[in-house]
Amino acid sequence: MTDLAFVTLAEAGRLIRRKKLSPVEYTKALLARIERLDPRINAFLRLVPKTALAEARAAEGEIARGGWRGPLHGIPYGLKDIIDRKGLPTTAHSKILAESRARADATVAHKLRLAGGVFMGKTATHEFAIGGPCFDLPWPPARNPWNRNHHPGGSSSGSGAALAAGLLPAALGTDTGGSVRNPASMCALVGMKPTYGRVSRAGVIPLSFTLDHVGPMTRTVEDNAILLGVIAGHDPADPTSVRRPVADFAARIGKGVKGLRIGVIRHFYTRDMIADPEMGKAIEDALALLKGLGARIREVTLSPLGLYTSCNRVILASEGFAVHERWLKERPGDYASMTRRRLLPGAFLRASDYVQATRLRARLVHEFEAAMKDLDVLVTASSMEPPCRIDDPKAIEVTYPRQARAPFNVLGCPALTLPTGFSKAGLPLSMQIVGRAFDEATVYRVAHAYERATPWKTTHPGLD
């Protein structure tokens, strides 16, 4: 292996198991790359090299003794800094929690530890997973490795930046209105928001109790399926966790799409919110490719995108304010100004607004389930345009809501974003694939078929 920065999780796992790749040397190589590049990217809030090397040595020793814990054994990973890791601060990128310290692992962190993963550190986020790339916080915002002057997406911004820059092969993010899929869109990655209840949220700082999801972020579809398989499963510590067997999410990824029925929610990005022409063309080109691979494509009409996003906004604002009410009253000046602006509208929503939003949500779920009765997946836009500049707050405020991710937080179904190429300016383009509840496997199957037929997973930013 001459370049460990962009080896896939799956390939690294196979090499480690065959004793052809040392977890210690792999970890050292990535730590050296982080030391060299991260001052320009700001992907990490806290790097833990001593812990990483100790876990890598333990993983290597276990392999030497004939042990193997699974495909994550000896694989470096990062955690978005709203996910607890015992003994470390969970800051949520905020002054308010700068002195916090986790008493126990979040359930997902515990699962990664048991799987033999090598914990590298905490990645940057937008403040409390709702702010934007802010410059009035104790730590700088993460930057986009494809162009440092541009926004990497959020709120799982550091996880996305670290993956795109080749600092990590795997990371976790969270997704309330698209915060795993947004950095996936902006950084040419694969990001999955699993079905609601599929992955435990115990030990994760909440933003919206009924919209929050924890999801895997990787550079390839196979890697994403592997990582979801490690973190999924019922957890009694999370009352929303579902008792559902954990599937082998990667089992069907090589089967292609011949005969699969794909619906296109075209009106989301051509009428309800008009996408950038390059983004729209990339999605249409992807659909043509899938059709050429044997998929059956037909257009689907759902309620307007604006109805879904309004429903998401009311629920998120109401539940987010409930989470932050005490701090907003006692420490308002310790929030970044953008975070305050996004949280405070929840103070002015009425109980009836929230109730009506939840009633609308039930109708939208029914509509979606009816549409999916004779379909395998849906395809639509993720972001409506490539990333804007990180130092232009007006552009960020305008472009951030230009997306079609929030509907699938409302619906709770699995939704995955993956790259579809690059704009003329060299910035990532993307699309979104959506499945039935608990059918992540079919989403991965379609995504992998597209990925295998295109060169995007082997295209990386030139940082060296």
Could you list the pLDDT tens digit for every one of the 464 residues in the chain? 448 999 999 999 999 999 999 999 999 999 999 999 999 999 999 999 999 999 999 999 999 999 999 999 999 999 999 999 999 999 999 999 999 999 999 999 999 999 999 999 999 999 999 988 999 999 999 999 999 999 999 999 999 999 999 999 999 999 999 999 999 999 999 999 999 999 999 999 999 999 999 999 999 999 999 999 999 999 999 999 999 999 899 999 999 999 999 999 999 999 999 999 999 999 999 999 999 999 999 999 999 999 999 999 999 999 999 999 999 999 999 999 999 999 999 999 999 999 999 999 999 999 999 999 999 999 999 999 999 999 998 999 999 999 999 999 999 999 999 999 999 999 999 999 999 999 999 999 999 999 999 999 999 998 87
pLDDT, position 374: 96
Non-local CB neighbours of 222 within 8 Å, separated by 6+ positions: 8, 9, 10, 250, 253, 448
User: Locate tokens 């949520």: which residue?
Assistant: 92
Q: What are phi and psi of 420, to 5 degrees?
A: -125, 15
pLDDT one-digit tens code per residue, 146-177 = 999 999 999 999 999 999 999 999 999 999 99
Rama region for 92: left / alpha / beta (φ>0; ψ in -120 to 50; rest): left
**Separation CA 99–CA 91 (nearest Å):** 8
8 Å CB contact between 71 and 10? yes
Rama region for 447: left / alpha / beta (φ>0; ψ in -120 to 50; rest): alpha
| pTM given for the model | 0.97
pLDDT one-digit tens code per residue, 188-215 = 999 999 999 999 999 999 999 999 999 9
Determine which one of 94, 95, 122, 155 is catalytic.
Answer: 155
Q: Supply the Cα-derived Rg of the chain in whole angstroms.
A: 20
Active site residue 200: no
Retrieve residue 25's tokens.
């040397």
**Separation CA 177–CA 181 (nearest Å):** 9
The strands making up 428-435's β-sheet, listed across from edge to edge, are 44-47, 118-123, 76-80, 170-175, 213-218, 190-193, 415-422, 428-435, 377-380, 261-264, 296-299
Retrieve residue 217's tokens.
């972020």
Query: How distant, in Å, are the alpha carbons of 38, 139, 249, 255 from that of 388?
Result: 21, 21, 34, 37
Rama region for 145: left / alpha / beta (φ>0; ψ in -120 to 50; rest): alpha
Determine which one of 22, 179, 200, 208 is catalytic.
Answer: 179
**Three-class DSSP labels, the chain:** CCCCCCCCHHHHHHHHHCCCCCHHHHHHHHHHHHHHHHHHHCCEEEECHHHHHHHHHHHHHHHHCCCCCCCCCCCEEEEECCECCCCCCCCCCCHHHCCCCCCCCCHHHHHHHHCCCEEEEEECCCHHHCCCCCCCCCCCCCCECCECCECCCCCCHHHHHHHHCCCCCEEEEEECCCCCHHHHHHHCCEEEECCCCCECCCCECCCCCCCCEEEEEECCHHHHHHHHHHHECCCCCCCCCCCCCCCCCCCCCCCCCCCCEEEECCHHHHHHCCCCHHHHHHHHHHHHHHHHCCCEEEECCCCCHHHHHHHHHHHHHHHHHHHHHHHHHHCHHHCCHHHHHHHHHHHHCCHHHHHHHHHHHHHHHHHHHHHCCCCCEEEECCECCCCCECCCHHHHHHHCCCECCHHHHHHCCCEEEEEEEECCCCCEEEEEEEECCCCHHHHHHHHHHHHHCCCHHHCCCCCC
Active site residue 155: yes
Start-to-end Cα distance in the chain: 18
User: Locate tokens 């530890």: which residue?
Assistant: 113
pLDDT, position 1: 43
Active site residue 241: no
Q: Which residues pair with 296 in a beta bridge?
A: 261
User: Locate tokens 């015992």: which residue?
Assistant: 86
- What structural domains and CATH numbers belong to the chain? 9-458 (3.90.1300.10)
The one-letter amino acid code at 88 reads L
pLDDT, position 171: 98
pLDDT, position 464: 72
